[in-house]
Copies of this chain bind each other. A is one copy, B any other.
Amino acid sequence: MKALVFEDRLFMEDNMPKPVPVQREALVKVKMAGICKTDLEIEKGYMGFKGIPGHEFVGVVEESKDGDQSLLGKRVVGEINCGCKVCNYCLQGLETHCPERTTLGIDGRDGCFAEYLTLPVANLIEVPEGITNEEAVFTEPLAAAFEIMNQVHIKPSDQVCVLGDGKLGLLIALALNLSQSELLLVGKYPVKLNIAEKQHIKTALLEDLSSKRQFDLVVEATGSVDGFELARKVVRPRGKVVLKSTIAGNKELNLTSLVLDEITMIGSRCGAFNPALKALERKMLNVKPLISGIYSLDKIIEAYEASKRKDALKVLIDFTL
């Protein structure tokens, strides 16, 4: 099969062996995939990953090595963390924190930038009919946005600030806006902010953000090591800062100021897919304006480059092209 491979550099490989599902796994034929910032970080060495990258996909189940065959032939998305199923984390439903986990296209498991992938059947969820492939491929990052609402109680009366108008920042703003809180999305690009504006989200350019410490909750999704400092400046005493950016590199922080103002910082990563699929099915938010371009698998290296442009948002790979 055709696949994109990362080993020191990215390259296309036309004759990769088709993966073989083991017990309780399914073989999925990939239909559409999305390029994520994590994929670009992997290219720089993040997680020391080698193999087929990619973790945002929609596909069709072609084979199931599981007693339950109900997903065979169905269009599915898949949760990307595969736990050991026996440790305390897995037993508590926290498979995303299993110390033995593999993660699709990120850690110890080949990803979705290939014609076929394998995942445990239990990780797959059927995509409802009303959701197109272009929308379904946003399920994984949108689930990461909804994860915030699993971790933090957001009240409609809360003043919430999302920092960052990249792909993740926009998806977070779209998801959190469902809380009907006083939400402000802050970014650098009017054209990106405009996508949120059109969906009833108040926005501001970074240069216009007042440094008044007014927000009950600040979500740091800038993808920059300086995002935390900014979050710290606008969060109120006793407020919360959710950290979403995963960036190589450390940052000097003044921990005493966190103590004095009793700030809570919450690291937030992957989330469950169901809330994201529900919101997409019910058309509660529109992810399509985030699509910057659609490429064939043969042109995926070109797609990577397109994805790195400052004005780019989500770049998709259509496997039917």
Contact = CB atoms under 8 A, between A and B. Distances in A.
Interface of A: 89, 94, 96-97, 99, 151, 225, 228, 237-238, 243-256, 258-269
A102 to B, nearest CB: 14
B264 A97 contact: no
A261 B225 contact: no
A249 B255 CA distance: 8
Contact of A256 (B247, B252, B254): B247
Contacts of A238: 94, 97
Contacts of A245: 255-256, 259
Contact of A243 (B151, B248, B258): B258
A265 B264 contact: yes
Nearest to A228: B255
B262 A268 contact: yes
A258 B262 contact: no
A237 B89 contact: yes
A225 B254 CA distance: 10
Contacts of A262: 96-97, 151, 266-269
Contacts of A267: 255, 258-264
Query: Most chain-B Cβ atoms within 10 A of its Cβ — which of A96, A151, A263, A267?
Result: A267
Contacts of A261: 97, 267
A256 B248 contact: yes
A265 B248 CA distance: 20
Contact of A253 (B237, B253, B263): B253
Q: Is the interface of A mostly helix, strand, loop or mixed?
A: mixed
A243 B268 contact: no
B244 A259 contact: yes
Query: Most chain-B Cβ atoms within 10 A of its Cβ — which of A237, A250, A256?
Result: A256
A247 B99 CA distance: 33
A266 B264 contact: yes
The 6 A-B residue pairs whose C-beta atoms are closest, nearest first, are A258-B267, A97-B237, A259-B267, A265-B265, A250-B252, A246-B256
30 contacts: A89-B237, A96-B262, A97-B237, A97-B238, A99-B237, A151-B262, A151-B264, A225-B255, A228-B255, A243-B258, A243-B259, A244-B259, A246-B256, A246-B259, A246-B260, A248-B256, A249-B254, A249-B256, A250-B252, A250-B254, A251-B252, A251-B253, A251-B255, A259-B268, A262-B266, A262-B267, A262-B268, A263-B266, A264-B267, A265-B265
Given A264-B266, A266-B264, A267-B264, A253 B256 contact: no
Given A245-B259, A262-B269, A264-B265, 9 more contacts: A243-B259, A248-B256, A250-B253, A251-B253, A252-B253, A253-B253, A259-B268, A264-B264, A265-B265
A245 B263 CA distance: 13
A12 to B, nearest CB: 29
Nearest to A151: B262
